[in-house]
Each structure stands twice: as structure tokens, then as C-alpha cells.
Structure 1
Amino acid sequence: MADDKTKQGAADRTRVAAGEGYEVEYFARKHGISPDAARDLIRTVGNDRAKLDDAAEKLKRTG
């Protein structure tokens, strides 16, 4: 059965969808880290974009 097309909501930009390869790739490219490192961050920090941005910046500073 198809989704109900009348029930549309706004895109949730506050989360990173770890199951979507393109989102992980974008996040990794944005922060200059590998996709594997991005997935590890998502696993440890969660999928909240603001928290992930902070964690990625800390990761880049520490090496």
C-alpha cells in the first residue's frame, strides 16, 4: 500500500540519517573526515546534527 501523499511534513534537518549513504557522505565531506569516522560519530553521539557538528570539529582538532 502506498504512503498517504496528503500527509506531508517538513524535512527534518536537525538529524543525520545514518542509513542514508548520501547523508553520511555529505557530513563526512563537510567536516573533512572519512565516512567511517562519520558513522562512528553517529553511533557514539547519536544523530543530532548540532551535537555531531561539535563532535566532528573536536575530532578534527585532536587528529
Structure 2
Amino acid sequence: MSDNLTKRDQRDRSKINMHEDFEIKYWTKQLRVPKDELQNAVDKVGNSAAAVRKELVA
């Protein structure tokens, strides 16, 4: 299921959707990593923001 683009608040920040440009922009800024590094982490540990954050810190 894709994100509801009409919903402007309370986005699900527990998951990273690599198919949405605005989410990629948000997460690369939040995690201070380039897009390819974010993609590699998502490919390795899945789309859970907590797991990706943990992977990038390690």
C-alpha cells in the first residue's frame, strides 16, 4: 500500500519508503547519508527506520 499523499500530518516515520522521493529526501537529511548509502542499508536490514538507523550507526 502506498502513502496517502493527501495526509499531511502524522506520517508513519517507522518505515522508510524508497519509492517516494519526499521520503528519500526526508531520511537522507535526518540520517545525514547519501541516497545510495540509505538504499544499501534498506536493502540489508529492511525498511524499518529503527533498523536502518542502527545499521548506519554501526
Assess same fold via TM > 0.5. yes
In structure 2, the residue matched to 1:14 is 14
Amino acid at match of 2:20: E
Contact 1:31 1:57 in 2 (8 A): no
What pairs up with 1:33-44 in 2 under 5 angstroms?
Answer: 33-44=33-44
- List runs of 5+ in structure 2 lacking aligned partners: 1-9
Q: Which runs of 5+ in 1 are unaligned?
A: 1-9, 59-63
**Number of corresponding residues:** 49
Q: In percent, how many aligned pairs have the same letter?
A: 20
Greater C-alpha radius of gyration: 1
Pairwise CA distance, 1:12: 3.0
Partner of 2:54 in structure 1? 54
**After the TM superposition, which parts of structure 1 deviate over 2 Å for at least 4 consecutive aligned residues?**
10-13
Matched letter for residue 57 of structure 1: V
Hey, what's the Cα distance between the residues in 2 that align with 1:57 and 1:30?
13
